[in-house]
Amino acid sequence: MKQNIVDILKGKFLISDDAVKNWRFILFASLLAVVMIASSHNADQKVHDIARLNEQVQELRSEFVDTRSRLQRLKLESTIVTKLKDYGLQPSAEPPRKIRVTTK
């Protein structure tokens, strides 16, 4: 048992007669490790992209809400009346009437 551990620590399993199968396994394990690391980096990059896009969505949503509230204030009758006073226009004193067209 002790001799096997010493042989592994010295690396004799890499230079023995049947070392080819050991080298193949080491290369395979190394390749799997590289693929796993690349996959992890790719997943981390996607997480960062999603976080950045969520921030942009929040900014655009707040800009939309702000613009919509300003538009609603501009559409108020009192705002329109004050802006049209500069041009000498004022609201009508009598309400509008419906025009009915009858055809024969």
Examine residue 50 and state whether it is found in any structural domain, yes or no. yes
In a domain, 17, yes or no: yes
Helical (H) or strand (E) element with 98: none
Evaluate whether residue 92 is within a structural domain.
Answer: no
For residue 75, being part of any structural domain is answered with: yes
Do the domain assignments include residue 64?
yes
Residue 53: what pLDDT? Answer: 98
Name the band, by pLDDT with cuts 50, 70 and 90, for residue 23. confident
Beta carbons within 8 Å of 22's beta carbon, 6+ residues apart: 13, 14, 16
Q: Is residue 98 part of a domain?
A: no
Range of the domain at 46: 2-85
How many domains does the chain contain in total? Answer: 1
Whole-model pTM: value is 0.58
For residue 17, give Cα distances in angstroms to 3, 23, 59, 76: 18, 12, 66, 91
DSSP type of residue 95: -
Q: Is 91 part of any domain?
A: no
Query: What percentage of the chain has pLDDT greater than the value 70?
Result: 99
